[in-house]
Amino acid sequence: MSTLLTAELLFAGVVVTRTPEPMAPPTAAAVGAAPGGQREVTLVSLGGIATDPLLRRVADELDAAVDAVELFWGPEWPHEVVIVAAGSDAEFRAQATGVADTSHIAAVTVADSVNPQENSATGQRIVFAPGAVTMSPEALRLVLTHELFHYAARASTAADAPSWITEGVADYVARPTPVGADARWPLPVALPSDADFGAPGDPSLAYDRAWLFARYLADRYGAPALRAFYVRAAGPHHPDPDTALWEVLRVRPADALRGWQQWCVRNGLA
């Protein structure tokens, strides 16, 4: 069974412009190695000349993205990384198995099989959607780092891990500090939950809430504590998030919410 971590990446304000389906079959895939510290990175361009430029940009950003992930997660994750750029929606769906609606997705991280008990994942790949070619340099940097964290943590992440934790922490790794002094969000009235991601309205709010809470935890307790919370709350045999908060950080939900609210106001984020 394949598993995937989807990053609509609405947190970064990414607007994915869909490219039309090609009138002719895509050119042959171009495969090559790219920088990535001590890691072997394979870039697969399914769209040929349409996606080659995107992968060149990805190669330029890889070292910084790897550094950001290792700074938070550590170096113990797969040394072979596969990154695929799809040239059409059909190619994207074929690579990103399990994704139904691709209209707002910039990239996904997918694995053919995962065994968190043995800390292993096979067939992992980061797949960029066709519209990713239009992303700004900053957006691409955020998307790549976000997806690379999913790649690094996938083998340690349970299939039923709360999305708000996996996405919020991935967002934190991609942008550990608030973006823009003028950014404002509604004052949180509850801790994040997966229900946020299915709520009507702008879905970017759910991603931002999850990111803001992860940012708060890292600021209040330290990045290593946020990592420990992720491992406990999203790893195999994880408890509910409230229990994980207490076990790892010794904080009750009501106190966590109060501290988060005060942090948002103090930092001008709400």
Give tens-digit pLDDT for 35-66. 555 788 999 999 999 999 999 999 999 999 99
Is the pLDDT confidence value at 17 over 90? no
| Helix (H), strand (E), coil (C) string for the chain | CCEEEEECCHHHCCCCCCCCCCCCCCCCCEEEEECCCCCEEEEEECCHHHCHHHHHHHHHHHHHHHHHHHHHHCCCCCCEEEEEECCCHHHHHHHCCCCCCCCCCCEEEEECEEEHHHCEEECCEEEECHHHHHCCHHHHHHHHHHHHHHHHHHHHCCCCCCHHHHHHHHHHHHCCCCCCCCCCCCCCCCCCCHHHHHCCCCCHHHHHHHHHHHHHHHHHHCHHHHHHHHHHHHCCCCCCHHHHHHHHHCCCHHHHHHHHHHHHHHCCCC
Which pLDDT score is estimated for 121? 84
Q: Which of 25-34, 128-137, 230-239 has the lowest mean pLDDT?
A: 25-34
First to last CA, the chain: 41
Of 237, 226, 202, 268, nearest in space to 73 by CA: 226
Rounded CA-CA distance 195/163 in Å is: 10
Model confidence over 219-235: pLDDT tens digits?
Answer: 999 999 999 999 999 99
Query: Is the torsion defined by CA of 84, 7, 142, 79 positive or negative?
Result: negative
| Cα maximum dimension of the chain | 59
Which pLDDT score is estimated for 180? 56
Neighbours of 55 (CB within 10 A): 21
**Average pLDDT, rounded, for the chain:** 84
Which pLDDT score is estimated for 36? 52
Which pLDDT score is estimated for 179? 60
Of 217, 216, 223, nearest in space to 267 by CA: 216
Q: Which residue has the higher pLDDT, 80 or 17?
A: 80
Q: Which residues of 16-46 are buried (b: 16+ CB within 10 A; e: fewer)?
A: beebeebeeebbebbeeebebeebebebbbb
